[in-house]
Structure 1
Amino acid sequence: MNALTHQTPTDLAGGDVSTDLADPAFWRLPRDRRLAAFALLREAGGPVRFAPRTGSRTPFHALVTHADVKAASRQPQLFASAPGVTMPEPAPWAKAVFGNSMVNMDGAEHAGLRRTISRAFTPRLLAAAEENIDSVARRLVDEMAVDGPGDFMRSAGARMPFEVICDLMGVPERHRADISARVDGASEYVGVQRRGRARLRIPGRGLRSLARMQLDMAGIARERRRAPADDVISALVRADVGGRSLSSRELGAFFSLLLVAGVETTRNAIAHGMVLLSTHPGQRALLESDFDRYADGAVEEIVRHSTPIIQFRRTVAAECELGGHSFLPGEKVVLLYASANRDAAVFEDPDAFDITRSPNPHLGYGGGGPHHCLGAHLAKLEMKALFREMLTRLDGIRATAAPGLVDSNFDNRVRSLPFTFERCHPNSSV
């Protein structure tokens, strides 16, 4: 059985809702219309083939159901991350200069590097990080109380994951302002331009920022080789991978992944959480009534509902069948997490925001398998700690307008989010 081939923007919609994921204009549609298009694609059943009409981009199959995305994620021998999970894939010269990111690796190469990096996150280091998360959340909410309302993306919501990762890695305070600017620059061109030519903005366009960030991190790594500390950078510069140490490019690629991916995805999830709790007062009241009871479910539902990463790409490595379709080696497949997390076959009333949803097998951190997000546990702890501080100490904290979103085929990124609160709770330390 062949996959359904998408031919026109209205083939599946039966109206004026575009479902052509290969058209850059699709990714400039309002988010609710894109979600409606994903629902129509799921109803069509099985993978859907898209053929870009312009440029040199390769045709691809979109996996839109929860079952198909999960199955492909757990079969890396058939659906490979190499040569790259973004569209377009990283250029060979970029890999040579900046190193190959772990997300683009497979097999023994990926397993060896991931195992080495996992060992750097020792139980003692992670325990200290968990304790530090609560401290960072308290400090940032202290500052929110002093600074007052404004743009949430310039406040605790955006700063929380950056501060936590820098503390965990051991980035000295004197470097953080520069590295924060590099992180923003490296992830700035992820999305679709609203003006000018209607073309996709691709992860990695901020190569100058990425290069400067890797130079910054290389300098810190040299310091740690001379004087090790109890942090991730020190552990990695002394790590052993099959009898050799990590190269400068390997270190730089991992630091970039941790800083850019770890910061961007978590701060977007936090921002969407603020919007969801502001626009669903019943769910917020339930969470506030017993935070310890409902916090875990709230975090999982925020991640499912917002899905910080929209999609990753895979390359078919061997002839196989999935979702009733036969794939050939070399074909491109897109794992559409944003669609899988709204699949009615798995989630009852999938468009509803329900912090009591159980079970909640969302794919917000990947569909399992060897590429499941390394930082998922810490990201959830950060969200819980920050929402606990904000909801218990800042009376009436809420978003006051819709978030300013970046049109993107890659991540559900929030550019701006106005917020306010009435006053500091008496329990505040401010």
Structure 2
Amino acid sequence: MALGVDDINLTDWEFWARPLEERQRAFSVLREREGLAFFEESDLVTLPRGPGYYAVVTHADVTEASRRPADFCSGRGAVNIPDLPPEMNEYFGSLISMDDPRHSRIRRIVSRAFSPRMIQQLERQVATAAAGIVSEVRAGGSGDFVADVAARLPLKIICDMMGVPEQHYQTVLDASTLILAGNDPELVVQNNYEEITLNMRVAGQTLYDIVGDLSGRRRADPTDDLTSALVNANIDGESLTDQELGSFFILLLVAGNETTRNAIAHGLHLLTTNPDQRALLLDDFDARIPDAVEEIVRYAAPVIWMRRTATRDTMLNEHHVKAGDKLILYYWSANRDETVFRDPERFDITRHPNPHLGFGGPGPHFCLGAHLARWEITLMLRELFTQLPTIRTVGEPDRLLSDFINGIKHLRYEI
């Protein structure tokens, strides 16, 4: 029996628990339909039920909505489908949930802090950290690739970059994992939205307290870390407030940690289950790794979607959109659009060009940390295949039950 649009419900958690192949087929059906599919929102109990949302699933539509921030804004909620209080949007969204002129002001301050000198320093730190992590695995690991490798590198880099002491590493990891826990039974009480919301707030406050203490010390005694650069930045008389710094810190830790660790985990699994692509990569690693990283990010799409809200009645390509409509931009679907990617379900490290949207679409919200993420994936794969040339994943990944993050919780491996 053919799958129809009426058989698909992106709001239902059961949909996100289905095998990947079934979800991929569902999004293929949505891409083929005329017009934007509309879905009702969940009844969260803790919030008034929202008006529903449109699923934006094609590469062309996601790209067009991304490049028109004046028509499709982020400030009413970018990382959540329900309408949250403004302070909650900024608490967990920071730059992601802002519009101009405030967005450009803060992004300018943050971008200035990423000086060429700091980028060079970060690149050296990534190389050293990746080598050390893989060396420890070679000496003996737990057998869980996420815990032993994928989660450790981005966590260390983000914390070192911000100047967070090592004693807080596990706290940061636990908090960021909880914020993006979705409806996963290993991490939360399923469908208990009051408890899930409370856990998110507690985790967010934990991270906020860490940076609050750190920023106070860096104002009095600056060092060469990113926190010092941010708290002491002054561009045309502008600087970050404590609230802005705290929300940016949460964004950096959660986005920089979770998404990169999932890309690394997906990367090794894809190179294990596609031995022809692994052989191709190892035949000329330096030449092929740039395209391989792009293909990993395309295929994995660690962030499944972001939200935009229409600011006026307008057109999105051939679709009529009304002011106030919620649009969910499904990057995961756009990265498999048959009109853009030939044989999109094939993992192909020679794919070129590869205009994926794994770091977001064009426009002001393109991922600020894309360069760092690419570098971390590159150097970790280099160290893995240099020190542990036979490393491979075993069995299927234990996937996170989430409609937002394409996460891997556990991944067995052998060397």
TM-score interval, smaller chain: over 0.9
State the identity %.
Answer: 42
> Hey, what's the Cα distance between the residues in 2 that align with 1:223 and 1:54?
43
* 2:96 aligned partner: 103
Contact 2:109 2:239 in 1 (8 A): no
* 1:190 aligned partner: 182
Instruction: State the 1:193 CA deviation.
Output: 5.1
Matches within 5 A, 1:244-323: 244-323=238-317
Instruction: State the 1:406 CA deviation.
Output: 1.0
**What amino acid sits opposite 1:221 in the alignment?**
S
Partner deviation per Cα, 1:349-388 (whole Å, 9 max, x = no partner): 0000000000000000001100000000000000000000
**What amino acid sits opposite 2:12 in the alignment?**
D
Partner deviation per Cα, 1:32-78 (whole Å, 9 max, x = no partner): 21111000111113422223475613211111100000000000001
> Hey, what's the Cα distance between the residues in 2 that align with 1:68 and 1:199?
34
Contact 1:192 1:409 in 2 (8 A): no
Matches within 5 A, 1:355-366: 355-366=349-360
Matches within 5 A, 1:49-64: 49-52=38-41, 56-64=49-57
- Please report the TM-score for the alignment, with normalisation by the length of structure 1: 0.89
Contact 2:183 2:191 in 1 (8 A): no
Query: Matched residue of 1:61: which SS?
Result: strand
The correspondence for 2:205, drawn from 205, 211, 216, is 211
Structure 1 residue ranges without an equivalent (≥5): 1-8, 422-430
Question: Relative to 1, partners in 2 of residues 1:401 and 1:218: Cα closer, same or farther, differing over 3 Å?
Answer: same
> Hey, what's the Cα distance between the residues in 2 that align with 1:290 and 1:213?
41
Q: Does 2:20 match 1:31?
A: yes
Partner deviation per Cα, 1:230-273 (whole Å, 9 max, x = no partner): 11100111122652432111110000000011100000011011
The correspondence for 1:41, drawn from 13, 30, 36, is 30
Q: Does 2:187 match 1:180?
A: no
**What amino acid sits opposite 2:328 in the alignment?**
V
Contact 1:391 1:397 in 2 (8 A): yes
Instruction: State the 1:124 CA deviation.
Output: 0.4
Question: Relative to 1, partners in 2 of residues 1:226 and 1:198: Cα closer, same or farther, differing over 3 Å?
Answer: closer
Partner deviation per Cα, 1:58-111 (whole Å, 9 max, x = no partner): 211111100000000000001100111122243245358x48611100111100
Q: Does 2:159 match 1:170?
A: no
- Please report the TM-score for the alignment, with normalisation by the length of structure 2: 0.92
Q: Does 2:137 match 1:144?
A: yes
> Hey, what's the Cα distance between the residues in 2 that align with 1:221 and 1:243?
19
Partner deviation per Cα, 1:279-338 (whole Å, 9 max, x = no partner): 000000011111001101110000001100101111001211013111111011010111
Contact 2:309 2:325 in 1 (8 A): yes
Question: Relative to 1, partners in 2 of residues 1:103 and 1:351: Cα closer, same or farther, differing over 3 Å?
Answer: same
* 2:343 aligned partner: 349
- Number of aligned residue pairs: 407
Contact 1:190 1:410 in 2 (8 A): yes
Partner deviation per Cα, 1:118-168 (whole Å, 9 max, x = no partner): 000111010111121111110111111112351011111110111111222
Contact 2:3 2:26 in 1 (8 A): no
Tell me the C-alpha RMSD between the 2 structures.
2.2
> Hey, what's the Cα distance between the residues in 2 that align with 1:129 and 1:93?
32
Query: Matched residue of 2:151: which SS?
Result: helix
Contact 1:186 1:204 in 2 (8 A): no
> Hey, what's the Cα distance between the residues in 1 that align with 2:93 and 2:383?
38
**What amino acid sits opposite 1:254 in the alignment?**
F
The correspondence for 1:79, drawn from 63, 66, 72, is 72
Question: Relative to 1, partners in 2 of residues 1:190 and 1:102: Cα closer, same or farther, differing over 3 Å?
Answer: same
* 1:20 aligned partner: 9
> Hey, what's the Cα distance between the residues in 2 that align with 1:337 and 1:362?
8
Query: Matched residue of 1:345: which SS?
Result: coil
